[in-house]
Amino acid sequence: MMLRLDRVSKTFRTGSFGGRELHAVREVGFEVAQGEVVSLIGESGSGKTTLGRMILRLAAVSEGSITLDGVDIARQKDYYRSVQGVFQDPFSSYNPIFKADRVLEMIRQRFFPSMGAADWRARVESSLAAVRLDPGGVLGKYPHQLSGGQLQRLLIARALLLDIRMLVADEIISMLDASTRIDVLNLLGELKGRGLGILFITHDLSLGNYVSEKTVVLRSGRVVEMGRTELVFGNPLHPYTRNLLGSVPRLHRRWSEEEDAPEEEATCFYHGAAGRDATWPGLVEAEPGHFVGCATSGTCAPALELVR
Ligand SMILES: Nc1ncnc2c1ncn2[C@@H]1O[C@H](COP(=O)(O)OP(=O)(O)OP(=O)(O)O)[C@@H](O)[C@H]1O
Ligand SMILES: [Mg+2]
């Protein structure tokens, strides 16, 4: 099973009369295969959650397409049996007056209305076992009686009740303390081993590096760099990625060293074609499996390729 995004954009209308446009996601394209973790990384406001919400059909796509096995997700019946999300703040995901078993029971009512009690019980127990939660320890409890890590794992268990193929995990680690983080990260690794495709949204690069085989770096809604994680982390090409990684901007130095570095390449707004209407030229494959893009200031992907 393959989730594919093709030039996906999201424009919000803002301002009192919807007169202003906010381009939250711009022409984003990548794939998540089963058994693969893809990290989506970028600073606050870069469009990560908006992208996750579009994949989960919680927000409409403005332009472009999202497909699962080649079929537009908007036209998929039973989509949520295959794709589920787990979000940042586990506390807000729960109604505070629902005990944990009721949260899970809602899945039964909606997706397995005719399943018998014994079968359902077995299903719940195997889901909880997969996230290493003890049924007796969590089921009869209210959200405030559980730890952040337990809640996050309960949400994952809830998604697993559905035999999902894809999981969108939006900042599920950030709220957790260091030791619980490792638990949940290892859990994601296990789920991957069971064939799940995971889109792991985080602003914490080290977490992305730890779990994912592919990394997508988002800036102002646009992919600036993406590819195999070891390439993006080991040889970051875009200054934005380097900043995120806290590394020295080698690029800058090279440009100032090379007298003949063309000025317009250093100030690409799409190959120096100034003006807001310039079309984004897309990503350049700088090395096999490693893509980098032009930016609105300071970076031209073809120029990056030159200085490598
Ligand atoms: N419903 C909405 N209406 C208008 N603007 C929105 C809406 N949702 C998000 N935005 C805007 O879209 C941009 C991207 O927001 P988004 O929540 O996707 O960022 P993010 O990368 O998830 O950030 P964070 O790391 O803080 O969670 C922001 O400028 C945000 O203000
Ligand atoms: Mg977010």
| Residue 305 structural domain | 236-308
Write out residues with Cβ below 6 Å of ligand 1.
12, 14, 22, 24, 42, 44-50, 203
* Same domain (yes/no): 157, 303: no
Confidence band for 43, pLDDT divided at 50, 70 and 90: confident
* Same domain (yes/no): 17, 53: yes
- What's the 199 CA to ligand 2 centre distance in angstroms? 13
Q: How far apart, in Å, are the Cα atoms of 43 and each of 20, 176, 244, 283, 301?
A: 23, 19, 8, 20, 21
* Same domain (yes/no): 41, 153: yes
* Same domain (yes/no): 207, 280: no
pLDDT score recorded for residue 185: 86
- What's the 48 CA to ligand 2 centre distance in angstroms? 5
CATH code, domain with 199:
3.40.50.300
| CA atoms of 302 and 287, how far apart (whole Å) | 12
Residue with CA at minimum distance from ligand 1 atom 5: 12
What is the rounded average pLDDT of the residues 88-115? 84
Q: Which residue has the higher pLDDT, 284 or 253?
A: 284
* Same domain (yes/no): 134, 153: yes
* Same domain (yes/no): 246, 225: no
Reference 108, options 92, 122, 88; nearest CA is: 122
50-54, 135-139, 266-270, 289-293 — which is least confidently predicted?
266-270
What residues does the ion ligand 2 have nearby, CB within 5 Å?
Answer: 48-49
Give the pLDDT confidence of 198-238 residue by residue, as tens digits.
999 998 888 888 889 999 999 889 999 999 999 999 988 88
Residue 240 CB partners (closer than 8 Å, separation 6+): 217, 219, 224, 225, 295, 299
If one residue of 46, 51, 201 were mutated to test the ligand 1 pocket, choosing by the most ligand atoms within 8 A of its CB, it would be 46
Count, residues in the chain: 308
Tell which of 180, 214, 234 closes a domain: 234
Tell which of 197, 212, 234 closes a domain: 234
Number of structural domains found in the chain: 2
% of residues, the chain, pLDDT over 90? 47
* Same domain (yes/no): 247, 215: no
Backbone angles phi, psi at 197, to 5 degrees: -95, 135
What is the Cβ-side half-sphere exposure of residue 263, based on CA atoms within 13 angstroms? 1
Reference 218, options 81, 69, 28, 2; nearest CA is: 28
